[in-house]
Amino acid sequence: MLENIRLSFQGIWSHKMRSFLTMLGIIIGIAAIIAIVSTIQGTNKQIEQNLIGSGSNNVKVQLYNGDWTFDFSYESVPDGIPTVTQDTLDQIKALPEVEDASLYLSRQDYDGVYYLNNSISGGYVNGIDENYFDTCGYVMKSGRGFTEDDYNNSRKVAILDENSAQSLFQGTDPMGKTIEVKGEPFVVIGIVTQLEKFEPVINSLDDYYTYAQDTSGCVYVPDRVWPVIYQYDEPQQVVLKAKSTEDMTNAGKKTADLLNGNLNVSEDNVKYKSQDLLEQAKQIQQLSQSTNTMLIWIAGISLLVGGIGVMNIMLVSVTERTREIGLKKAIGARKGMILGQFLTEAVVLTSLGGLIGVIVGIVLAEIISKLNATPVSISVPAAILAVAFSMLIGIIFGLLPSYKAANLDPIEALRRE
């Protein structure tokens, strides 16, 4: 086998230009497939990151009225929707897919949050429990968080995120200053930020509207104070931290089922639903995958053409080396040895083409990434599979020429000039 490989490289090197042109179809096909697969994987990761973010694995379970989240600013709470009890929250936390869970209340506010003449029109006011920041992966940037006394005494204190702090205070220090939330005074005690920040890639206006809707920021207050500024006995929403990205869908669905089990409403369209970002990401990925699969099949045609080229050149090689084959048979070489030699040469030729194709494909993927600002993710299994496939092409398309060489009549072969 090693001798056959050595002879194969010797034959390839002695006909460098012919060998390169023979491998060209294989190189182009493998390079195209590697580039396409790398771009697909990179795009899929970008889609997942854009929707899910930096790996916080958070899932929101909210009350819906049909296809829209229930808006308590304009809709009264229907009968039969209880507040979430501590017992229900403990059941949610006990789910195998859930690492942590928190209750919160939320309103998008257009004219209710002010500091002097500045407002956060379109921002959010969230009433949160003691565990909210830990569940969502937030840390204090400055100031302090809510204490047990803040909750027990229903203190009117607020924590801002960086966007709301900038909108309200325009770069000045907000600590200790008083803002108005629906006419009620709240003292700012801290600024909160995400532990792992993530900025989604925005390449179009649609992306902007999808990912850039919360630039006005959020104001956080203790949930015990919520009835002072809005209304009593308002049902909470739930935010989960799943144990892994793959657990997000099941965690959201199981939590929604638990909450819906406590509902006693006549309207079928009022129920808790999970904001299944992972499922959205998968649907978008599948949509792009179907298009890219067609591109892979098109690239595969060049592999077929390359394989035919290999078979053609190997047939020429058999014709050129007829006397050599006849001489080897005359001194005792068996059919298997001749067949193995030519088959090895075909496999080495296509494998070499496959390796070069992988390198070219990686370079091509990086160039596409730089030119189009699209991410790439080089797939090692795809590269290994591509080289293995090129070897298979060598076996399939080298079999006929090798069989022809092995079955040459030694006497007739020696007569050839």
From the first residue on, what is the mean pLDDT of each consecutive set of 10 residues in the chain (417 residues)? Answer: 65 74 81 80 66 68 84 77 90 93 89 87 90 91 93 94 91 93 93 69 45 67 91 84 84 90 81 70 58 68 76 72 66 69 78 86 83 72 78 75 66 56
Indicate the SS3 state at residue 413.
Answer: helix
CA distances from 37 to 24, 43, 296, 357, 382 (A): 20, 10, 8, 13, 8
**Contact criterion met (CB below 8 Å) for 345 and 398:** yes
Q: Exposed, middle or buried, 93 (CB in 10 Å: 0-12/13-18/19+)?
A: middle
Its pTM surpasses 0.75: no
pLDDT value at residue 51? 55
Left (φ > 0), alpha (ψ -120 to 50) or beta: where does 113 sit? Answer: beta
Handedness of CA 342, 347, 352, 356 (dihedral sign): positive
**Contact criterion met (CB below 8 Å) for 180 and 229:** no
- Burial 72-92, CB ≥16 within 10 A → b, else e: beeeebbeebeebeeebbebb
pLDDT value at residue 212? 44
Find the DSSP H helices in 238-374.
Answer: 248-260, 277-320, 322-330, 335-372
**Contact criterion met (CB below 8 Å) for 90 and 244:** no
H or E, element range at 192: strand 184-194
pLDDT value at residue 78? 76
Left (φ > 0), alpha (ψ -120 to 50) or beta: where does 143 sit? Answer: left
Q: Parallel, antiparallel, or unpaired: how do β-strands 118-119 and 157-161 relate? A: unpaired
Q: How far is CA 299 from the centre of its chain?
A: 24
Left (φ > 0), alpha (ψ -120 to 50) or beta: where does 95 sit? Answer: beta
Q: Parallel, antiparallel, or unpaired: how do β-strands 123-128 and 218-222 relate? A: parallel
d(CA 21, CA 188): 72
DSSP state of 334: -
pLDDT value at residue 222? 95
Identify residue 157 by its one-letter amino acid code: V
